[in-house]
Amino acid sequence: MPVSPASDAAPDTVLVVDFGAQYAQLIARRVREARVFSEIVPSDMPVAEMLAKNPAAIILSGGPSSVYAEGAPSLDASLFEAGVPVFGMCYGFQLMATALGGTVDNSGAREYGRTELNVSKAASTLFEGTPEEQQVWMSHGDACSAAPAGFDVTASTSVVPVAAFENDEKKLYGVQYHPEVMHSTHGQQVLEHFLYRGAGIEPNWTTGNVIEEQVEEIRARVGTKRAICGLSGGVDSAVAAALVQRAIGSQLTCVYVDHGLMRKGETEQVEKDFVAATGVQLKVVDASERFLDALAGVSDPEQKRKIIGREFIRVFEQAQAEIVAENAADGADVAFLVQGTLYPDVVESGGGTGTANIKSHHNVGGLPEDLEFELIEPLRKLFKDEVRAVGQELGLPEEIVQRQPFPGPGLGIRIVGDVTRERLDLLREADAIAREELTAAGLDRQIWQCPVVLLADVRSVGVQGDGRTYGHPIVLRPVSSEDAMTADWSRLPYETLERISTRITNEVADVNRVVLDVTSKPPGTIEWE
């Protein structure tokens, strides 16, 4: 993500209309990588509301439905007469074709996975400068057999006669495949051709825009009141805090809640590193007993998340009263709570896209209804790599900016079963060993994160010290990802895995087995709970 100075011109916005595609968030990322701001909107948003956002262009995502299926997502054809450039991908391509009089049918021309695309008009808006034969990623059962009147057919495959079309006069474009995925070898180039050439958008969005806009907005919103921020030690909360401090300075107090669910040494690291880097006012609250009492006997992961979210806010309410008392002389009202909510958090909690709720998140969906604070979420529309770029521009040290993601509910959702102090201590030691060995092998920057999971309700037979044991398994979950929306398991060297396994089974009491999770996302999520 570029971190060059922002342009004086306000950045354009591209709307990505989500028709239930697994890649909608990836489309939004690819647009941003082209230095154009993007926002995902649900397919049932009325066209009038879309146009009211004054988009510079609109992209129609793919989706699992057939355009002819009963109840399939549809789109008001008036969009194509509004003068806004539109780019349809896969299902969005077929919607455009049918809405404008083209033909889409189920002829048996199914294509899934890598497919050879034949470009018939190499000088077209989308394909200029790309090869006449190129690899693309297809995923469709229906196919377009005739383009709408006024459209030029620009590409085909061996089984699909219309795999791409263009209407430069109306600024309408479409492709049957997924240009947003890396398997489409020239997909990003085709997308950028639509943005720059088809829609005429200036690539002027940078992280500088984010900082300037948020600082101005936060100052205006907070005024003379005060804000508190929940600092976890992770990159999200750290960058959110640094950004808000840039806006309101000493009106912000960061509160670090030690809920007893943190990894080994993290409390000390937060107190030392973040304060040294920012000079922020930090209040540390030891609430470990409170959280453990509330979690006692609870094994359901959703209930755990909601309990942790509820107790987290209650601790903040107590901190608020203490901070107000400490600052009674100036009469300032602590009215705002800063959180490091990211775009994937919003999407996976069912917010903003009409998608299913994959998980509740204490930053999004698990907040109590009687919350006494107004929320400030300056990173709500950003992906993780964009947050890191903002952190770098704000001057945070690499140790904070490049830290691997860690869930807000902490180790509470990495224990499959009841959460107890003994189980937390066990998992902390295993996790610390895994992190030490990954660092020693130089793999920290090669993986997205490596959750270490304790299967507390599972025991397996082992042999240790010439005796039979009945211990817990530990699961290693190293994953590679760009934004946590999708992920693949990381192929770590066998030697590193061996060292981690040997050390954990030798050094951590009551553990006699280490296993490796080799599931991608989807179908699994990164965290187990």
Q: Give pLDDT tens digits for 272-328.
A: 777 777 878 888 899 999 999 999 999 999 999 999 989 988 887 888 788 878 776
By CB atoms closer than 10 A (0-12, 13-18, 19+), residue 391 is buried
The residue annotated as part of the active site, out of 90, 229, 254, 450, is 90
Q: What is the pLDDT of residue 440?
A: 94
The verdict on whether omega for the bond into residue 451 sits within 30 degrees of 0, i.e. cis, is no
The residue annotated as part of the active site, out of 140, 144, 178, 362, is 178
DSSP state of 93: H
Q: What is the pLDDT of residue 139?
A: 72
Question: E strand or H helix at 228, and its extent?
Answer: strand 226-230
Alpha-helical segments (H) within 179-300: 187-193, 207-222, 235-248, 266-269, 275-278, 288-295
| Catalytic status, residue 450 | no
Compute the mean pLDDT over every residue in the chain, rounded to the nearest whole number: 86
| Catalytic status, residue 178 | yes
Q: What is the pLDDT of residue 493?
A: 96
Question: pLDDT tens for residues 394-405?
Answer: 888 887 888 888
Please, which pLDDT band fits residue 429 given cuts at 50, 70 and 90? very high
Beta bridge partners of 253: 228, 281
Q: Is 198 helix (H, G, I), strand (E, B) or coil?
A: helix
CB 67 within 8 A of CB 95: yes
The residue annotated as part of the active site, out of 166, 180, 377, 527, is 180
Could you give the percent of the chain with pLDDT greater than 90? 48
Please, which pLDDT band fits residue 503 given cuts at 50, 70 and 90? very high
Question: pLDDT tens for residues 157-177?
Answer: 888 889 999 999 999 999 988
Two structure tokens written together for 425: 């201590």
Please, which pLDDT band fits residue 4 given cuts at 50, 70 and 90? very low
Q: What is the pLDDT of residue 109?
A: 62
Question: E strand or H helix at 116, and its extent?
Answer: strand 111-119
Please, which pLDDT band fits residue 113 given cuts at 50, 70 and 90? confident
Alpha-helical segments (H) within 75-186: 91-99
Question: pLDDT tens for residues 346-375?
Answer: 765 554 443 433 344 444 334 455 567 788
How many angstroms separate the CA atoms of 179 and 196, rounded? 16
Q: What is the pLDDT of residue 9?
A: 45
Two structure tokens written together for 277: 């880097």
Mean pLDDT lowest for which of 41-50, 211-220, 245-254, 480-489? 480-489
How many angstroms separate the CA atoms of 96 and 104, rounded? 10
CB atoms within 10 A of CB 306: 19
Query: Residue 424 above 90 pLDDT?
Result: yes
Q: What is the pLDDT of residue 361?
A: 42
Which residues are within 8 A (CB) of 330 and not within 5 positions of it... i.e. 6 or more apart?
A: none
Q: Please give the C-alpha separations between residue 362 and each of 65, 70, 496, in angstroms, as whole numbers.
A: 32, 36, 34
Query: Residue 479 above 90 pLDDT?
Result: yes
| Catalytic status, residue 254 | no
Beta bridge partners of 282: 254
Could you give the percent of the chain with pLDDT greater than 70? 90
